[in-house]
Amino acid sequence: MNQTRGSDPPRPGLMASPRLVFGLPFGAGVVLHVMTGSDIEAGGSLIAVVLGAVSVGVGLVLAAWATITLLRRGEHPDPARPTTTLVMDGPYGYTRNPIYLSFTAVGLGIGLLLNSYWVAGSVPIAVLALRFLVITREERYLETVIGQPYAAYRESVRRWL
């Protein structure tokens, strides 16, 4: 179900790029891993590789599903663009932030595939950065543009899972 309010919404204004906000701590984790090694388990394990591959796969599928759902509803996945429609179907019926959840799944999966404390440990930092630098601002913006329908959606669908 989609809710629309108004035809010319205000622009969200300057918003940090979610890819950059997540990518900087994650990239730092990759660099630290390359510089120091510090494997989770000597030699890695088949279980970690399988879990990592599954996590990356689930994250990529979730990102594609969320993006396709947005585009089909006439919305763009870039949060810096104006929003006119509250998308509540597809993955948005289960989580308010499926694309950011996909970043998390892919990041953790890569951490497992690389067998890296640094990479896996960077993911919670990246998620916190997303939460405070992007999601809080997006939620304020959607509350302003969509109003009560967004408030009701926020009450009925969890931020993450």
Per-residue model confidence as pLDDT tens digits over 2-16: 444 445 556 556 568
Q: Which pLDDT belongs to residue 157?
A: 97
User: Could you tell me which CATH number the domain at 46-161 has?
Assistant: 1.20.120.1630
Please tell me what DSSP assigns to residue 87. E
Q: Which pLDDT belongs to residue 158?
A: 96
More confident residue, 101 or 145: 101
Q: What is the pLDDT of residues 27-70, one digit of tens each?
A: 999 999 999 877 776 566 888 889 999 999 999 999 999 999 99
d(CA 27, CA 45): 23
Report the phi/psi class of residue 147: left, alpha or beta, with left for phi > 0 and alpha for psi in -120 to 50.
left
Cβ–Cβ < 8 Å for 129, 24: yes
Cα dihedral sign for 126, 129, 131, 133? Answer: negative
Mention every residue, 6+ apart, whose C-beta is less than 8 A from residue 13.
Answer: 141
**Amino acid (one-letter) located at 73:** R
Does residue 21 have a pLDDT over 60? yes
The whole model's pTM is what?
0.86
Q: Which pLDDT belongs to residue 39?
A: 72
Question: Phi then psi for 3, rounded to 5 degrees?
Answer: -120, 135
d(CA 152, CA 1): 13
Q: What is the pLDDT of residues 103-137, one digit of tens each?
A: 999 999 999 998 888 999 999 999 999 999 999 99
